[in-house]
A and B are shown apart, each in its own frame.
Chain A
Amino acid sequence: MTTIPRQMQRSGAQRRARESTAARITGSSRAVSSLYIHVPFCVKKCNYCDFFSVPFDESTAFAYTDALCRELKMKAHLAGSIETVYIGGGTPSLLPHACLSRLFRTLQRSYTLSETAEVTIETNPGTISGATIDLLLSRGVNRISVGVQSFDDAELRLLGRIHTADDATRTLSFLRKSGFNTISLDLMFGIPGQTLDSWRTSLARCLECAPTHLSCYELTLEEGTPFWNSVQKPPEDAIVDMYVHACDFCEHYGYGQYEISNFALSGHRCVHNLNYWRRGEYIGAGAGAHSFVGDTRSRNVRDIRSYIRHLAEGVAPEVDSAMLSPVESAREFLFLGLRTTDGIRIRDADALGLDLLRAAEELREGGFLEMRGTVLRMTRRGFAVSTAVLVHLLQNLGL
């Protein structure tokens, strides 16, 4: 493990070089270079969240860290030089220092992290202390992603967030001074009661915090969450306007769009996520974590106790494991590739035997897809209706 001094800032050119090394189309047999670590603890579950998480509890956290480290060791043989680590959650910054230290120690001992590795951790406003920040930076974390969601207190309350807009501003100003290379901010649109005006305000206040990366997600109502069947999202047209505004806003302030929901200053794209969209392999560790190794996608058991038990007994925690058929791989190649503004190279589609140009003809005429040189990609209009575009395309391709 390489410890990166907090002062060290890499050049944009160096970053771009790494972004392109991750540009692979299919999972190959070479060693995996991406690692996802799931920490399922939250102070409180938000009203819209259907992601796997439980309230934080110290003794569980220790047992969980123990299991996590076992799994990481168990899977270390799959890994080559690690280029990206993403510690997501939940709120992983809630882990006690002893747990975090243990986790990083395991990473250091069992894996080889490249010198230029992107190491991300997720946090939420008001849940991270100066001491934690110091610890993370000293262990090589260079990218931090903050779940702000909104700068409107009423919206935050409705979402069931535990922080206010001011908490977010304070946390971000604190983080900015601490020396992370990339600070990313998550914002949400389509919140019940949200208007284009309140969304504009959130974006403007977000700018004051000067993040280097922005994710703007539309709220989705998921079955099994308190929001399901109980709240009404703003009208569809309003949501489209919010999305369009976000794209315009980001473009104006230099945050280039590189995926449906993601925007970054030059050199700050999330390499870890790009790897997902390029169908790169990754190892997932932790309860409910997903892995993609070889042609097989698998998922770990979600229940924390069951996860801990599996690993205590030395048993792999994977429960769902499926080797992709060529057709499934081709579908993934299309829908993942078209999420990014890099799009899909026609010759890569040709290599898979897909007549993409012909299948896309009508959608190009309709202004949903466009050719940039030898690359087919979505237009902004296409992004807004991406599900329909992809279904149409899959149909046309007979996939």
Chain B
Amino acid sequence: MGTGRFRDADARMTGVILRADRGGHACNCPAACDKLYILSSMKNIRNFSIIAHIDHGKSTLADRLLEYTGALSEREMTDQVLDSMDLERERGITIKAHAVRLTYAADDGVLYVLNLIDTPGHVDFSYEVSRSLASCEGALLVVDASQGVEAQTLANAYHALEHHLEIIPVINKIDLPAADPQKTVTQIEETIGIDCSEAILASAKEGIGTKEILEAIVKRIPPPRGDDGEPLKALIFDSWFDNYQGVVVLVRVFEGRVRAGMRIRLTATGSVFEVSQVGVFLPKITQVPELSAGEVGYIVAGIKRVTDTKIGDTITDADRPTDEPCPGYKETKPLVFCGLYPTQAHQYENLRDALNKLRLNDSSFVYEPETSLALGFGFRCGFLGLLHMEIVKERLEREFDLALISTAPTVVYRVTHTNGSVSFIDNPALLPDRYETIEEPFVSATIFLPAEFIGPILDLCQEKRGVQTTFTYIGKDRVRIDYELPLNEILWDFYDRLKSLSKGYASMDYDFLGYRESRLVRLHILLNGETVDALSSIVHADRAYQKGRDLTEKLRDIIPRQMFEVVIQAAIGNKIIARESVRAIRKDVLAKCYGGDITRKRKLLEKQKEGKKKMKQFGRVELPQEAFLAVLKLK
């Protein structure tokens, strides 16, 4: 962009809107230019996120804000612009964070730049959420007036409070017959403990309250602070791979400036790149001459891999680095692993290509080839959590048209071998028969819940081998409990059960604590006498018998009756601890061919044969996908 001709100093002082065309030319001529951006003094900038439980209307509200501020014409509006992937839309989850720059002419006669930073909304992505929130000064806390406060709202609201964000409560969906705004306000005050006297009543669907929200953002959220004369210090809160640009990094600039031609350093890896472009999303990608302290935007710098741009890392000037990188950076490590196998061996190459492509855009998931006796060639993949795993799997199946078998997810165990060497095991089948010690990852979990649900939730934590460290009343009817729990135990159904036991009001967050020695054994499953490695799991010795019985029963229900009897056994070492069987089918008659209608029967057979493609053949036994996840369904 031809910054030399750009009168940025004037603009900065007056907050004047400039028009810039895509060719890098910037001027005041409205006729030639179609894109708007603003350069403004820092006091006219507001950086904010929207915090909401799934389905409480976050995306709809974002759309209204975009619409109201003219960022999108109605013609350009497709519903819920920020959730760009179909999958996100279907699941109602925002997976990738995005940042959109809005311009708003407030009632005080000043034009403001509002940067809306979207956040993912699931515990798997809590680190990403925390980095997004760290990029803001304020947040809209959206609560559905007909549903009230729910667990997810709490967890994210606490995140926001930790980052000292100004929180603006928005009571949404007031148009619904079941809406009870007053009750919702009281709930927010009681559960989150923030003042709701100035809560905004809104209906994003009906467009009620949009202006009030924009005014509140401008008046109540503080402007960013920082010095654009200092060395560059910018926080990475998202990045993705673009086929044309390479990696696009979303940043919040805290100090200094960044512009094309500058050499930047990524603090975590130390690698240096030359910036080729900076810009903002309006929401369409739009180049700007520079991003300076307080601003939010993107940087393109010829970076080839998203693995280089770690979320939470600090970008600084390679020639004049900052002394103090942004706090809170953590290396994200996959916590959950599973095997992904094509149901049809010939799709292996396609699966590899698909993983490659997904990895370009998702640095938090890892994979490497592995082989299973039962499943053949596939990949061991690591994820941030279960939801992350499900999303990746679904994308592979949907976007790449692959039929996949996934094995039960597992955590990573640390095994000390008899010779003293240490290795990490992310596949239960690879646990050696003899070893010195085995350690499993523990987390410290913080749970907030209404006091009335304490009983069942303490029982749940107990059942999951938890050790209580803190128990505190917050107010008269809310409780905070802290537990040290094996990650393995909370991976599976813990979150769901926590929610159902507390009618959705408990919220949980956890941090990795470290490895601890445990009495663990490998439970393996035999089908007709043959071990199926992909069904192995590592369980606590005290629970092994119960799990073995539960698992064989579960498999008995999942495995469809087939032509031959299927004997299911659970074993620890050589000792069989449980046995079930699935009787062979006795009847499956190919019915009468009426009046020479042969085609109908042929098609029926063809359809049945097609259906079997989804099953994995293991010797004489055909296993449906659910069988490999049966271990998850155990209590």
Of A239, A328, A384, the residue contacting B602 (CB under 8 A) is A328
Q: Are A336 and B598 in contact (CB under 8 A)?
A: yes
Contacts of A336 in B (CB 8 A): 598
Q: Are B588 and A387 in contact (CB under 8 A)?
A: yes
- Interfacial residues of chain A within 353-399, with CB under 8 A of chain B in the complex: 362-363, 366, 368, 383-392, 394-395
Interface membership of A282, Cβ < 8 A: yes
Q: Identify the stretch in A94-102, A126-134, A176-184, A284-292 within 8 Å (CB) of chain B at 4 or more residues.
A: A284-292
Minimum C-beta distance from A315 to chain B (A):
22
Q: Identify the stretch in B62-70, B340-348, B606-614 within 8 Å (CB) of chain A at 4 or more residues.
A: B606-614
Given A366-B564, A391-B609: A386 in contact with B588 (beta carbons within 8 A): yes
Minimum C-beta distance from B604 to chain A (A):
8
Q: Are B590 and A276 in contact (CB under 8 A)?
A: no
Interface membership of A339, Cβ < 8 A: yes
Q: Are B602 and A331 in contact (CB under 8 A)?
A: yes
Q: How far does the alpha carbon of A298 sit from the alpha carbon of B546 in the complex, in Å?
A: 59
Q: How far does the alpha carbon of A284 sit from the alpha carbon of B594 in the complex, in Å?
A: 12
Q: Are B605 and A391 in contact (CB under 8 A)?
A: yes
Chain B: residues with Cβ within 8 Å of the partner, total of 27
Q: Are A339 and B590 in contact (CB under 8 A)?
A: yes
Q: How far does the alpha carbon of A288 sit from the alpha carbon of B564 in the complex, in Å?
A: 39
Interface membership of A208, Cβ < 8 A: no
- Interfacial residues of chain B within 19-53, with CB under 8 A of chain A in the complex: none
Contacts of B587 in A (CB 8 A): 236, 239-240, 243, 384-385
Q: Are B591 and A290 in contact (CB under 8 A)?
A: no
Given A217-B591, A362-B620: A388 in contact with B563 (beta carbons within 8 A): yes
Given A388-B562, A390-B605, A391-B609: A332 in contact with B589 (beta carbons within 8 A): no
Contact code string B586-626 (vs A, CB < 8 Å = 1, else 0): 11111111111111011011101100100000001000000
Contacts of B599 in A (CB 8 A): 290, 297, 299, 320, 322
Contacts of B586 in A (CB 8 A): 236-237, 240, 384-385
Q: Are B595 and A36 in contact (CB under 8 A)?
A: yes
Q: Are A292 and B596 in contact (CB under 8 A)?
A: yes
Q: Are A395 and B589 in contact (CB under 8 A)?
A: no
Contact code string B393-432 (vs A, CB < 8 Å = 1, else 0): 0000000000000000000000000000000000000000
Interface membership of A117, Cβ < 8 A: no
Given A260-B590, A328-B602, A368-B563: A387 in contact with B608 (beta carbons within 8 A): yes
Q: How far does the alpha carbon of A220 sit from the alpha carbon of B606 in the complex, in Å?
A: 19
Contacts of A236 in B (CB 8 A): 586-587
Contact code string B567-595 (vs A, CB < 8 Å = 1, else 0): 00000000000000000011111111111
- Which single residue of chain B is at the shortest CB-CB distance from A36? B596
Q: Are A335 and B589 in contact (CB under 8 A)?
A: no
Of B592, B593, B595, B608, the residue contacting A391 (CB under 8 A) is B608
Contacts of B602 in A (CB 8 A): 328, 331-332, 335
B587, B594, B608: residue with the most chain A Cβ atoms closer than 10 Å: B587
Q: How far does the alpha carbon of A294 sit from the alpha carbon of B149 in the complex, in Å?
A: 71
Minimum C-beta distance from A263 to chain B (A):
14
- Which single residue of chain A is at the shortest CB-CB distance from B596? A290
Q: Are A387 and B612 in contact (CB under 8 A)?
A: no
Q: Are A335 and B590 in contact (CB under 8 A)?
A: yes
Interface membership of A261, Cβ < 8 A: yes
Q: How far does the alpha carbon of A218 sit from the alpha carbon of B586 in the complex, in Å?
A: 14
Q: Are B589 and A384 in contact (CB under 8 A)?
A: yes
Minimum C-beta distance from B345 to chain A (A):
13
Contacts of B564 in A (CB 8 A): 366
- Which single residue of chain B is at the shortest CB-CB distance from A238? B587
- Which single residue of chain A is at the shortest CB-CB distance from B607? A391
Interface membership of A174, Cβ < 8 A: no
Contacts of B590 in A (CB 8 A): 260, 335, 339, 386-387, 390
Q: Are B596 and A389 in contact (CB under 8 A)?
A: no
Q: How far does the alpha carbon of A285 sit from the alpha carbon of B599 in the complex, in Å?
A: 17
Contacts of A51 in B (CB 8 A): 594-595
Contacts of B597 in A (CB 8 A): 290, 299
Contacts of A388 in B (CB 8 A): 562-563, 585, 588
Q: Are B606 and A384 in contact (CB under 8 A)?
A: no
Q: Are B612 and A395 in contact (CB under 8 A)?
A: yes
Q: How far does the alpha carbon of A392 sit from the alpha carbon of B612 in the complex, in Å?
A: 10
Minimum C-beta distance from A119 to chain B (A):
16
**17 A-B contacts (beta carbon < 8 Å):** A220-B592, A237-B586, A243-B589, A276-B598, A282-B596, A289-B595, A291-B596, A297-B598, A362-B620, A366-B563, A368-B563, A383-B589, A385-B586, A385-B589, A386-B590, A387-B608, A388-B562
**A-B interface, 8 closest residue pairs, ranked by CB to CB distance from nearest:** A290-B596, A387-B588, A386-B590, A385-B588, A240-B586, A388-B588, A387-B590, A240-B587
The residues of A with any CB-CB pair to B shorter than 8 Å are 36, 38, 51, 88, 217-218, 220, 236-237, 239-240, 243, 260-261, 276, 282, 284, 288-292, 297, 299, 320, 322, 328, 331-332, 335-336, 339, 362-363, 366, 368, 383-392, 394-395
| Given A236-B587, A290-B598: 14 more A-B contacts, CB < 8 Å | A36-B596, A217-B591, A218-B591, A260-B589, A290-B596, A331-B602, A335-B590, A335-B601, A366-B563, A384-B588, A385-B563, A385-B586, A385-B589, A395-B612
